[in-house]
C-alpha cells in the first residue's frame, strides 16, 4: 500500500458517512457535525435511509445511491450490517473504509467470526479497511477527522504522528504526546495495521516523530523489517500496553516459562531501533525532547543545581537511566570556584547557591553555563531552577540567562523547575531553542537519556531479519544424547555423554568416561528431571553408579514414568548458565541467555535477543544480566570466557534460523569456565 493511498485516509477530497445519526448537538456523537466543526472543506455524502437531509446536506438511502465515488467511506452501523455496507462500498468502487463499529474481535465469538469475514472481504475486493472498533483518523494539518467525539482542531500542531489502538490518543493528546499532527487508530486492525501506517509516516514530510501505542500485533516479523528501516530516518516511540506474562505459562521448558510476552516485545523493539517507553508520561517527555532539543551523541552530563539535595536526586536519576556525570578536574572548575567562599568546593554537579550568595545570580549562572557548555566532555546539561512568583526573587528568573547563554542550540538543556510560578516560567524558558522544562529531576535526566538512546539505536548496524517459514508438524521432544548431537552439529561444545539402558551398560560407559560422573534420567514425561529425582551428581565409583541407577529407576517406576534410558556424563565444573530458543508467533525465534541451575525460574536473571543475532547483540545480552559480575569471578569463584559465550549465542541463533521446526530449545545448564562453555543438558521441542 503506497503513501498516496494512505494519504487518502487522512486527507480525502470526498467522504461518505454511512450510518450518520439524525440527532445533532449534545449527546449525538454525530460524525458529520464533528467533521464540520473540525473544519473539513471537501465533499460530504451522508448515508441514512430515514432522513432526507441533515445540517444542509442531502442524505442518501444507501451507498449505491451516491452521485459519485467518494475517496473514503466511514461506516458506523450495527455490527450485523457492517459486512453488507462494506460490500456495497466495494461494489461502488470505494477503495478505503473506516469501520467505526465495535463488537467484533473485541467482543465475543460472533464478533470474531464477523471480523474474519471482514478481513476476507478486504482481501478479495481490494478495499482497504481501518478498524473495526476505532475512532478512525485525524489530520490537524488538512483538516480532517472521522471522530464521533468532538475533538477541536489544533491550528498549530506538532509534527508528531500517532499510530494507536485506542481513540484516546486522538481525543486527548495532552496526556500522551502533548500535541498531535496526524493519527491513525487502527483499532482491531482487521486489515490496515502498524506496518502500512509506519511506511506512510516514514515518507510524510509533515511527520518528524512517530509515536505508537501497541496492544498486540499481527505480522510482527514484517513490522520489524519495516521499522528497522524507518527508525534510521525518524525516531519511533512505542508504548506497549497489556504486558501480561500469561502466555508463558503454557510453555513446557525453562526457556518457555521465562519468556513473557512483554520481554519479547522489548527485545523486538530494540532489534528494530525503536524507543520503548514505559508509560504515557515518558512518551510525552520523549516527544518533547526529540522535537525540540538538539541531538546528543554521548551520555555525559553537566549538572547545575540551586540545592545540594536536588543535585543528589539528579545523580540518582543519572544512574537509573544510564547517564554519567562528566568528570571535571577541580583545577578546571576555577571560574566558578572563584565566585564561591573558600570553604565550599565546586564539583559536578555544580551547586551554584554559594556562588550566587557571594557573586550574584547573573554572574554565577553565566559562568556555570559557559563552563559546562564549552566542554567537549559534556554532552548535555540539566539545570535545577526555582520558579518563584515573589517580586523579592525576581532576580532568580533563569529566562535571561538561558536566552543569552553561549553556544546556543549546540547542546540540549533540560530544566527541572520547582516553585509556585512553574507554568509562567516554564512557558518563557521553552521559548528558547534547545531548552525543555520538566517537573522533576527524574524526568529532566530521562529526557536526555532518550536522545542518547536514539543516537545509539540509530547508528548501530542492523542484521537483516529475513523471513521465517511457517512450519507445522507432529510435536515431539528431543532429549539426552539426541538433543546434544543437534547442538554439536551447529558448533556448540557439549559434554561427552553415553546413553545407557541399565547397570551393565552404565559400568561399561563409565570405564570410558571416567569418574566422577553424573547420571540423568531420560524420559519424555520428565522434562524437569530434578523435580522427579532424575539427576545424581558426583558419582565416585562403580558401587555408587550401580546404586544410583537402581534408585533412579525405582523412583521413575513408582511415578509411572516411561524410561527411555539414562544419560551418563563426566562431572563438569564451572558457572551454571542457561540459554535457549523460544519461537514467538509474531517475531520468530527468540534467543534467551541467563544464569542457570535449579533456581533459574526463581531468579529470572535473563536477557533476550531476536534472531538472527550479531556479535554486538550477543555481547549486549551478556552485559544485560543483573548478575553479570558472576561471569567475571566473585570471591575467588570461577570466571567465564565471554568470547566463548558469544560464539555459543551466535551458533544458537544460526540453529534457530535454519531449523524452523524448533518451538522451544532449552540448554540448562551450560557450564562456563575460563576454558570456554560446554552444554551439559538439553531438551528440544519440535513441532
CA 97, chain centre distance (Å): 30
Cβ atoms within 10 Å, residue 310: 21
Which residues fall within 8 angstroms of residue 230, CB to CB, at 6 or more apart?
198, 199, 201, 202, 210, 236
Q: Before 180, cis peptide (omega within 30)?
A: no
Q: E strands within 48-95?
A: 53-54, 57-58, 72-75
Task: Say how far apart CA 518 and CA 534 lie, in whole Å.
Answer: 11
For residue 416, the SS3 value is strand
Closest to 12 (Cα-Cα) out of 71, 67, 89: 71
Prediction pTM value: 0.91
Quick one: pLDDT at residue 598? 65
Give the closest residue to 74 by CA, choosing from 106, 37, 52, 101.
101
pLDDT at 514: 94
The pLDDT score that the predictor gives to residue 261 is: 83
Q: Give the pLDDT score at 252.
A: 41
Q: CA 97 to CA 101: how far, in whole Å?
A: 12
β partners of residue 137? 184
Distance between CA 417 and CA 479 in Å, rounded?
Answer: 60
pLDDT at 86: 98
The percent of the chain in helix, strand and coil, each rounded to the nearest 5, is: 40, 20, 40
Helix (H) or strand (E) holding 671: strand 662-673
Domains in the chain with CATH codes = 3-242 (3.40.50.720), 305-429 (3.40.50.261), 496-570 (3.30.1490.20), 575-686 (3.30.470.20)
At 570 the pLDDT is: 94
Which set of grid coordinates corresponds to residue 587? 517475531
Cβ–Cβ < 8 Å for 624, 593: no
Burial of 344 (0-12, 13-18, 19+ CB in 10 A): middle
Neighbour count for residue 457 (Cβ, 10 Å): 20
Rounded CA gap, 676 and 646, in Å? 10
Query: What are the Cα distances from residue 103, in Å, to 77, 187, 190, 216, 218?
Result: 11, 11, 13, 18, 19
Strands 137-139 and 144-145: antiparallel
Is the Cβ–Cβ distance between 457 and 275 less than 8 Å? yes
Q: What is the pLDDT of residue 525?
A: 82
Q: Which residue reads 445519526 in cell numbers?
A: 21
Contacts of 279 (CB under 8 A, 6+ apart): 239
DSSP 31-69: HHHHHHHHT--SEEEEE-TT-SEETTEE-BSSGGG-SS-
pLDDT, mean of each 10-residue run, the chain (687 residues): 88 97 89 96 96 95 97 97 98 98 92 96 96 97 96 96 95 95 96 96 98 92 96 97 59 45 92 96 97 96 90 93 95 91 90 84 90 95 91 84 82 94 92 94 96 95 81 80 93 94 93 93 83 92 94 92 93 93 93 82 86 96 92 82 97 96 93 94 91
Backbone angles phi, psi at 285, to 5 degrees: -60, -40
In angstroms, the CA 371 to CA 358 distance is 18
Q: Report the SS3 class of residue 259.
A: coil
- In degrees and rounded to multiples of 5, residue 655 shows phi and psi of -60, -45
pLDDT at site 255: 43
Query: What distance in Å separates the CA atoms of residue 569 and residue 678, rounded to the nearest whole number?
Result: 12
Other C-beta atoms within 10 Å of 480: how many?
22
| Nearest CA-CA partner of 194 in 246, 130, 254, 116 | 130
> Which residues are CB-contacts of 212 (< 8 A; sequence separation ≥ 6)?
162, 163, 164, 194, 198, 236, 237, 238, 239, 274
Output the nine-digit C-alpha cell for 612. Answer: 538472527
Could you give the CA distance from residue 90 to residue 252 in angstroms, rounded to a whole number?
A: 46
Instruction: Map grid coordinates 533563569 to a residue.
Output: 398
Length of the chain: 687
User: Residue 178 has which C-alpha cell?
Assistant: 502533548
Task: Give how far Cα 89 sits from Cα of 76, 97, 122, 602, Å.
Answer: 13, 8, 11, 56
DSSP-assigned states of every residue in 143-193? TEE--SS-PPP-SS--SEEEEESSTHHHH-GGGTTSS-SEEEE-TT-SSS-
- Return the CA Rg of the chain: 31
Scanning the structure block, which residue is given the C-alpha cell 563438569? 572
Amino acid at each position: 500500500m503506497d503513501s498516496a493511498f494512505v494519504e487518502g485516509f487522512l486527507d480525502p477530497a470526498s467522504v461518505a458517512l454511512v450510518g450518520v445519526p439524525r440527532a445533532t448537538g449534545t449527546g449525538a456523537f454525530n460524525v458529520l457535525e464533528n467533521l464540520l466543526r473540525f473544519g473539513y472543506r471537501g465533499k460530504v455524502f451522508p448515508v441514512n435511509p430515514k432522513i432526507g437531509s441533515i445540517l444542509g446536506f442531502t442524505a442518501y438511502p444507501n451507498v449505491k445511491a451516491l452521485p459519485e465515488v467518494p475517496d473514503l467511506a466511514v461506516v458506523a452501523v450495527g455490527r450485523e450490517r457492517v459486512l453488507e455496507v462494506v460490500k456495497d462500498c466495494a461494489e461502488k468502487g470505494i477503495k478505503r473504509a473506516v469501520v467505526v463499529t465495535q463488537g467484533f474481535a473485541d467482543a465475543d465469538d460472533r464478533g470474531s467470526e464477523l471480523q474474519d469475514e471482514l478481513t476476507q472481504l478486504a482481501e478479495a475486493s481490494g478495499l482497504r479497511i481501518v478498524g473495526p472498533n476505532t475512532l478512525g483518523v485525524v489530520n490537524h494539518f488538512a483538516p480532517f477527522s472521522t471522530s464521533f467525539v468532538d475533538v477541536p482542531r489544533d491550528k498549530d500542531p506538532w509534527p508528531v504522528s500517532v499510530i494507536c489502538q485506542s481513540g484516546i490518543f486522538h481525543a486527548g493528546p495532552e496526556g500522551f504526546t502533548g500535541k498531535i499532527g496526524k493519527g491513525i487508530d487502527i483499532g482491531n486492525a482487521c486489515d490496515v495495521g502498524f506496518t502500512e501506517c509506519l511506511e506512510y509516516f516514514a515518507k510524510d514530510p509533515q511527520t518528524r516523530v512517530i509515536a505508537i501505542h501497541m496492544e498486540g500485533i499481527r505480522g510482527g516479523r514484517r513490522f520489524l523489517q519495516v521499522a528497522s528501516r524507518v527508525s534510521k530516518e525518524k525516531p519511533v516511540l512505542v508504548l506497549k500496553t497489556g504486558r501480561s506474562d500469561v502466555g508463558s505459562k503454557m510453555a513446557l521448558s525453562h526457556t518457555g516459562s521465562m519468556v513473557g510476552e512483554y520481554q519479547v516485545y522489548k527485545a523486538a523493539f530494540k532489534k528494530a531501533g525503536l524507543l520503548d517507553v514505559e508509560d504515557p508520561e515518558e512518551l510525552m517527555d520523549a516527544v518533547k525532547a526529540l522535537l525540540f532539543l538538539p541531538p546528543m551523541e554521548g551520555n555525559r552530563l553537566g549538572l547545575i543545581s540551586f540545592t545540594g539535595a536536588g543535585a543528589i536526586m539528579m545523580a540518582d536519576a543519572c544512574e537509573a537511566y544510564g547517564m554519567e556525570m562528566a568528570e571535571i578536574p577541580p583545577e578546571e572548575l576555577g571560574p566558578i570556584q572563584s565566585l564561591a567562599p573558600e570553604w565550599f568546593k565546586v564539583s559536578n554537579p555544580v551547586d551554584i547557591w554559594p556562588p550566587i550568595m557571594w557573586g550574584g545570580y547573573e554572574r554565577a549562572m553565566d559562568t556555570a553555563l559557559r563552563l559546562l557548555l564549552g566542554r567537549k566532555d559534556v554532552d548535555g546539561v540539566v539545570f535545577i531552577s526555582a520558579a518563584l512568583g515573589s517580586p523579592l526573587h525576581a532576580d532568580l528568573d533563569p529566562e535571561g540567562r538561558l536566552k543569552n547563554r553561549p553556544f546556543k542550540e549546540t547542546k540540549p538543556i533540560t530544566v527541572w523547575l520547582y516553585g509556585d510560578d512553574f507554568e509562567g516560567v516554564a512557558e518563557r524558558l521553552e521559548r528558547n531553542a534547545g531548552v525543555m522544562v520538566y517537573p522533576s529531576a527524574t524526568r529532566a535526566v530521562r529526557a536526555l537519556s532518550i536522545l542518547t538512546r536514539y543516537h545509539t539505536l540509530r547508528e548501530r548496524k542492523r542484521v537483516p531479519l529475513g523471513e521465517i517459514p511457517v512450519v507445522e508438524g507432529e510435536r515431539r521432544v528431543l532429549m539426552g544424547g539426541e538433543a546434544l548431537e543437534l547442538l554439536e552439529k551447529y558448533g556448540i561444545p557439549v559434554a561427552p555423554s553415553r546413553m545407557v539402558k541399565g547397570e551393565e551398560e552404565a559400568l561399561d560407559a563409565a570405564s570410558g568416561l571416567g569418574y566422577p560422573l553424573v547420571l540423568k534420567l531420560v524420559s519424555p514425561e520428565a522434562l524437569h528431571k530434578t523435580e522427579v529425582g532424575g539427576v545424581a551428581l558426583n558419582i565416585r565409583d562403580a558401587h555408587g553408579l550401580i546404586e544410583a541407577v537402581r534408585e533412579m529407576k525405582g523412583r521413575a517406576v513408582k511415578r509411572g514414568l516411561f524410561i527411555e534410558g539414562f544419560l551418563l556424563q563426566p562431572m563438569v565444573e564451572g558457572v551454571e548458565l542457561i540459554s535457549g530458543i523460544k519461537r514467538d508467533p509474531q517475531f520468530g525465534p527468540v534467543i534467551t541467555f541467563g544464569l542457570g541451575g535449579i533456581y533459574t525460574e526463581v531468579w529470572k536473571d535473563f536477557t533476550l535477543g531476536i534472531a538472527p543475532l550479531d556479535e554486538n547483540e550477543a555481547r549486549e545480552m551478556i552485559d544485560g544480566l543483573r548478575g553479570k559480575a558472576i561471569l567475571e569471578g566473585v570471591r575467588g569463584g570461577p570466571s567465564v570466557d565471554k568470547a566463548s559465550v558469544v560464539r555459543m549465542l551466535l551458533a544458537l541463533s544460526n540453529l534457530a534460523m535454519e531449523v524452523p521446526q524448533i518451538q522451544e530449545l532449552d540448554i540448562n545448564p551450560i557450564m562456563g569456565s575460563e576454558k570456554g562453555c560446554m552444554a551439559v543438558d538439553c531438551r528440544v521441542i519440535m513441532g
